[in-house]
Amino acid sequence: MMDYGKFKYEASVRAREARKKQTRTVIKEVQFRPKIGQSDFEVKRKRVVRFLGEGDKVKVTMRFRGREVTHPEIGRDILRRLTESVENLGVVETPPRLDGRQMTLVLAPLPRSERLKYEASQAAANAAADETVNEDEGAESPEADGAAEGPEIFDAVEAADAAEVIEAIEASEEFEELEAAEVVEVAEAVEATEAIETIEAGEQGQEPATE
């Protein structure tokens, strides 16, 4: 006999696991205009790239106003530029289709492995470009030349300072030698004076001889 409670529990566990494995499809919408400028086009293109990178579908809507609808080829060219710029991240699931005053296009993301491969190649290319720019700036920058010449200038200044110090030491030694010579001369003069005074004192102290 089957345990109905156990059966219901196992069925709920299987349903919960199945829901975990399901991927919920999210469609993001980005709107364009036929007279869109280049800067606005880049902003919206980056938004499409972000949505596709996150694994979401993107519905691109081209809105026409007034007599713009009489020239649908302008909107179609803009959508073609968009699809070509994101071909490494998404594919066209629904081609451009005019419905009243709107032209819609649906982009689906590529598999995750291909998106990651493209993002890695883009990161490597950007890093290589940054290194090239830094090398060019370092080669052309006068600050780099000044930084290279800096150690040489510093060494020259140090050498000049060392020469001045050596000259000062030599001058000091010569001065000390002169001072020593003068001291010796003074000492000799003092000794000579003392000797003369001794001789004179001796002559004064002698008594005259008696006959």
| pLDDT at position 57 | 93
Assigned architecture for domain 21-109: 2-Layer Sandwich (3.30)
Give the residue extent of every domain in the chain: 21-109, 146-189
Say whether pTM exceeds 0.85: no
| pLDDT at position 113 | 80
| pLDDT at position 208 | 47
pLDDT tens, residue by residue, 71-129: 999 999 999 999 999 988 899 999 999 999 999 999 999 888 877 787 788 788 888 88
3-state DSSP of the chain = CCCHHHHHHHHHHHHHHHHHHCCCCCEEEEEECCCCCHHHHHHHHHHHHHHHHCCCEEEEEEECCHHHHHCHHHHHHHHHHHHHHCCCCEEEEEEEEEECCEEEEEEEECCHHHHHHHHHHHHHHHHHHHHHHHHHHHHHCHHHHHHHHHHHHHHHHHHHHHHHHHHHHHHHHHHHHHHHHHHHHHHHHHHHHHHHHHHHHHHHHCCCCCC
- Average pLDDT, integer, range 49-62: 92
